């Protein structure tokens, strides 16, 4: 990668970290989108996206925990099987074309999640333990396979199923993202035995963006506009991966 391309990619990662952290996510699907558009190989995309996710998710976890929105009782059934499954997903390797289609679909689904605006009056009721364990295992495997933390799916699921209030769903998803990203990264590095050198520059950009976005988000930015902008980016990247190999 040339210095110019790395500089542009770094700026893109910073912007994504700012935007995603404003709405309570770590940004893996956005990082995957821009790295795919820059033509990086899947074996470099997954560990890099997971690393950036860990940094930004750490910030989000700390903020929501500090604000008193986290629920351990809701969190642990989803996390119990998701962590080992994320490690397995990170260890497994998919054919390039399968990876492209799978990630493309994930990006399109992520765009739909950002467009969706949950009702404020949703009533929370926790799911049964078998359901939470099964959902957590599936999301963990998916997060490790694709380089996402799984929170992009867990948050809307918690809200749509009325399993948690909006802020509690965000708090649970933040730690869910952190743990699955760390587990998936360990599995991926264990299999490949290497780590992309350019990821260090992107990590610095993501950390700065995460802090900036969290600060701006706490000042009540218009999240709906940000979600729609992210949805456009994800739709473009997802369509590119699926229809233009």
pLDDT tens track for 77-106: 999 999 888 888 878 766 767 777 877 888
pLDDT tens track for 174-222: 899 888 888 888 877 776 666 677 788 899 999 999 888 877 765 666 6
3-state secondary structure at position 125: coil
Domain count, the chain: 1
Distance CA 107, CA 88 (A): 21
User: Does the predicted model carry a pTM greater than 0.85?
Assistant: no
What does the chain come to in residues? 245
Distance CA 67, CA 57 (A): 15
Range of the domain at 163: 3-243
pLDDT band per the 50, 70, 90 thresholds, residue 11: very high
Instruction: Residue 101: name the closest of 237, 238, 242 by CA.
Output: 242
């Amino acid at each position: 990668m040339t210095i110019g391309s790395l500089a542009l990619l770094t700026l893109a990662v910073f912007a994504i970290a700012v935007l995603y952290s404003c709405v309570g996510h770590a940004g893996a699907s956005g990082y995957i989108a821009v790295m795919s558009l820059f033509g990086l190989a899947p074996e470099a995309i997954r560990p890099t996206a997971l690393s950036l996710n860990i940094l930004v998710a750490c910030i989000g976890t700390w903020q929501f925990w500090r604000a008193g929105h986290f629920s351990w009782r809701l969190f642990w059934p989803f996390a119990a099987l998701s962590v080992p499954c994320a490690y397995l997903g990170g260890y497994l390797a998919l054919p390039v074309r399968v990876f492209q289609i799978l990630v493309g679909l994930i990006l399109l689904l992520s765009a739909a999640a950002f467009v969706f605006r949950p009702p404020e009056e949703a009533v929370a009721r926790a799911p049964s333990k078998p359901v939470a364990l099964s959902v957590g295992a599936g999301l963990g495997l998916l997060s490790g396979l694709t380089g996402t933390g799984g929170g992009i799916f867990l948050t809307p699921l918690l809200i749509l199923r009325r399993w948690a209030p909006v802020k509690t769903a965000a708090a649970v998803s933040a730690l869910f993202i952190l743990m699955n990203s760390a587990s998936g990264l360990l599995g991926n590095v264990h299999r490949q035995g290497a780590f992309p050198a350019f990821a260090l520059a992107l990590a610095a950009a993501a950390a700065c963006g995460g802090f900036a976005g969290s600060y701006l988000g706490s000042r009540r930015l218009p999240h709906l506009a940000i979600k729609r902008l992210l949805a456009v980016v994800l739709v473009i990247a997802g369509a590119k991966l699926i229809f233009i190999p």
